[in-house]
Every structure is written in C-alpha cells, then in structure tokens.
C-alpha cells in the first residue's frame, strides 16, 4: 500500500514516534499529531490525508469527541480507532459513530497496515464513485 496518507493521533509520544518511523519505512506518508485539537487543525490544512488512526484515550479532546468532530467536518474521512485499554465498548461506540474499525494496543504492525489498506480502499472507491457521479452529472448537463 504505497502512497497511503495517514494522520496518526496519540498523546503517547514514544509510541507515536516509533510507529511513525515504522510506517514510513513501509512507504506510507505519515502525519503525526499529539492531540485531537491538533488533528482537526492538521486535517483542515492538509486535504491529502486519507485515513486517520485515532487513539481513544487522550487528555483534552478524547478519541470519541475527535471522531464526532472529524465526521462532522470531513464526512468522507475514514477513521481507525486505537484502544489502549480494551475499552471495546468505546470502540463499538466509535464504530456506531462512523469509525471504520478498531485495533487494540499494543497492536501488530502488519495488522494495522492491513486495516489501513482496507480503509483506504474503501475511501478511494468512495471518492471514485463521487467523482463518477460528478462526471455523470456534468456530462448529463452537457447533453
């Protein structure tokens, strides 16, 4: 999965930095921020981001609040929830609110990558459909 553009959100700097390095080494384009607020700012700024990996438990805006905000502002954005403490209920809540999937920390890197891949695929298909619809609309207009 090359050129996947990920935004990682986690308050654990050690974890985030390492996983960023590991993912970058696997040819993914990574942006890393340490809080939900920063994540929203980053998404605003950077329209290239395709998938957000979001830690559930964070100081300030927590994962669920951030997720709600992201889905409000960027409805097509795919979000993968990362739960550090087996709060499956929270993860399920997250999925009900539109998250793509969830992973438990500490997670296997390959597993993470495969989840990201699925999410991006879904998003790209989605985008494609929207594009097609647009094209169709425009071409219809021409006729």
Partner 1 sequence: MEQSLTDRKAFYQVLVRKITTLILVVSFFPLILTTGLLVYRFHITYTDKIQAHISELVQKHTQNIDTFLSEKLGNIQYLSKLFIHNQHGPDAFLEKHLALLKDEYGDVFTDLGLINEKGIQFAYKGPFNLEYANYSDAQWFIEAIKKPFYISDVFVGLRGHPHFIIAVKIPSAESYNILRATINFGAFNSLVENIHIGKTGIAFIINNKGQLQTQTRVEFKQSTITSMAVNPEYYKKDKTIFAKKREPSGKRVLCVTSTLKNNDWLMVFRQDINDAFSELWKTQILTLIIFIFGCIAILSVAFLLPKNIVKLISKADTKSEAMNKQVVESGKLATIGELAAGIAHEINNPVAIMVEEAGWIGDLLEEEDLKACENLNEFTRALDQINTQGRRCKEITHKLLSFARKTDSTINDVQINEVITEMVSLTDKMAMYNNITIETDLHKGIPYIRISPSELQQVILNLINNAIDAMEKTGGKIKIETKPSAIKKNNLVISVEDNGPGIPKDSLGRIFDPFFTTKAVGKGTGLGLSICYGIIQKMGGKIDVHSQVGAGTKFRIWIPFQEETSEDIKNDNNTIIEES
> What residues line the site for partner 1 (CB under 8 A)?
12, 14-15, 18-19, 21-22, 25, 57, 84-89, 104-107, 109
Are 62 and 90 a contacting pair, CB within 8 Å? no
Minimum CB separation of residue 55 from partner 1 in Å reads: 9
CB atoms near residue 51 (< 10 Å): 24
Number of H helices, E strands in the chain: 5, 5
For partner 1, give the closer residue by CB, 66 or 83.
Answer: 83
For partner 1, give the closer residue by CB, 14 or 75.
Answer: 14
Minimum CB separation of residue 96 from partner 1 in Å reads: 13
Helix (H, G, I), strand (E, B) or coil at 100: coil
Give bridge partners of residue 51 from the DSSP assignment.
6, 78
CB atoms near residue 95 (< 10 Å): 15
In whole angstroms, what is the distance from residue 107 CA to residue 55 CA? 12
Minimum CB separation of residue 134 from partner 1 in Å reads: 38
Minimum CB separation of residue 33 from partner 1 in Å reads: 17
For partner 1, give the closer residue by CB, 21 or 45.
Answer: 21
For partner 1, give the closer residue by CB, 88 or 131.
Answer: 88
């Amino acid at each position: 999965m090359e050129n996947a553009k990920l935004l990682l959100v986690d308050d654990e700097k050690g974890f985030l930095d390492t996983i960023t390095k590991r993912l970058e080494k696997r040819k993914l384009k990574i942006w890393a921020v340490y809080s939900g607020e920063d994540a929203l700012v980053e998404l605003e700024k950077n329209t290239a981001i395709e998938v957000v990996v979001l830690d559930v438990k964070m100081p300030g805006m927590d994962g669920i609040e951030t997720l709600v905000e992201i889905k409000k502002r960027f409805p097509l954005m795919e979000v993968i929830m990362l739960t550090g403490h087996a709060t499956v209920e929270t993860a399920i809540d997250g999925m009900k609110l539109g998250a793509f999937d969830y992973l438990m920390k500490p997670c296997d890197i390959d597993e993470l990558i495969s989840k990201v891949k699925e999410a991006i695929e879904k998003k790209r298909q989605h985008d494609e459909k929207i594009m097609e619809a647009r094209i169709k609309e425009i071409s219809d207009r021409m006729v």
